[in-house]
Amino acid sequence: MPTLKIHNPATGALLVEPNADDAASVAAKAAAARAAQPAWASVPLAEKLAVVQRFRAGVVAELDALATTLTMEMGKPIAQARNELNGLLPRIDFFLEQTEASIRDEHVFDGGGMHEQITHIPLGVVANISAWNYPWFVGCNVIVPALLTGNAVLYKPSEHATLTGQHITRLLHAAGVPAAVMQCLVGAGEVGSALLAQRLDGVFFTGSHATGVRIAQAVAPKLLKLQLELGGKDPVYVRADADPLSAAEGLADGAMYNTGQSCCSVERIYVHESLHDAFVERFVATVKGMRMGDPLQGDTYIGAVTRAPQLAVLQAQVDDAVAKGATLHCGGRSRPGPGHWFEPTVLTGVNHTMEVMREESFGPIIGIQKVRGDDEAIALMNDTRYGLTAGVYTRDEAKARELLAQVNAGTVYWNCCDRVSPRLPWSGHGDSGVGLTLSTYGIQAFTRPKAWHLRQP
Q: What positions carry a catalytic annotation?
A: 229, 263
Query: How large is the angle between the packed helices 63-74 and 162-175, nearest 10 degrees?
Result: 150
The stretch among 2-10, 94-102, 224-232, 344-352 that binds ligand NAD (CB under 6 A) is 224-232
Residues in 121-160 at the binding interface with ligand NAD, rule: CB under 6 A: 129-134, 138, 156, 158-159
Which residues lie below 8 Å from residue 186, measured CB to CB, with a gap of 6+?
Answer: 4, 18, 19, 20, 21, 162, 165, 166
Which residues lie below 8 Å from residue 141, measured CB to CB, with a gap of 6+?
Answer: 91, 206, 426, 437, 438, 442
| CA–CA gap between residue 105 and residue 247 (Å, rounded) | 46
- The residue of the chain with the least Cβ separation from ligand NAD equals 192
192 scored as a contact of ligand NAD (CB under 6 A): yes
Minimum gap (Å) between residue 451 Cβ and ligand NAD: 31
Which of 69, 99, 211, 394 binds ligand NAD (CB under 6 A)? It is 211
* Pick 55 or 136: Cβ nearer ligand NAD: 136
Parallel, antiparallel, or unpaired for β 202-206 and 225-229? parallel
Beta bridge partners of 348: 327, 368
Cβ contact 8:69 at 8 Å: no
Minimum gap (Å) between residue 425 Cβ and ligand NAD: 11
What binding mask, one character per residue, do residues 413-452 give for ligand NAD by CB under 6 A, x or -? -------------x-x----x-------------------
Minimum gap (Å) between residue 63 Cβ and ligand NAD: 21
| CA–CA gap between residue 237 and residue 403 (Å, rounded) | 10
Which of 200, 226, 230, 380 binds ligand NAD (CB under 6 A)? It is 230
C-alpha distances in Å from residue 305, one per residue of 23, 57, 404? 31, 31, 32
> Kind and range of the H or E element at 29?
helix 23-42
* Pick 361 or 394: Cβ nearer ligand NAD: 361
Which of 202, 231, 244, 387 binds ligand NAD (CB under 6 A)? It is 231
Residues in 339-368 at the binding interface with ligand NAD, rule: CB under 6 A: 360, 362
DSSP state of 19: B
The stretch among 15-23, 88-96, 226-234, 244-252 that binds ligand NAD (CB under 6 A) is 226-234
Residues in 73-132 at the binding interface with ligand NAD, rule: CB under 6 A: 129-132
Minimum gap (Å) between residue 100 Cβ and ligand NAD: 26
Residue 192 has φ and ψ, to the nearest 5°, of -60, -40
Minimum gap (Å) between residue 161 Cβ and ligand NAD: 8
Minimum gap (Å) between residue 338 Cβ and ligand NAD: 21
The stretch among 72-80, 99-107, 225-233, 315-323 that binds ligand NAD (CB under 6 A) is 225-233
| Closest listed residue to residue 241, CA positions, set 405, 400, 391, 347 | 400
Minimum gap (Å) between residue 349 Cβ and ligand NAD: 26
The dihedral region occupied by 438, where left means phi > 0, alpha psi between -120 and 50, and beta the remainder, is: left
| CA–CA gap between residue 130 and residue 162 (Å, rounded) | 10
Which of 215, 236, 350, 438 binds ligand NAD (CB under 6 A)? It is 215
Long-range contacts of 55-58 (CB under 8 A, 24+ apart): 55/92, 55/144, 55/171, 55/172, 55/174, 55/175, 55/177, 56/89, 56/92, 56/93, 56/96, 57/175, 58/171, 58/174, 58/175
Q: What residue ranges bind ligand NAD (CB under 6 A)?
A: 129-134, 138, 156, 158-159, 188-189, 192-193, 196, 206-208, 211, 214-215, 229-232, 263, 360, 362, 388, 426, 428, 433
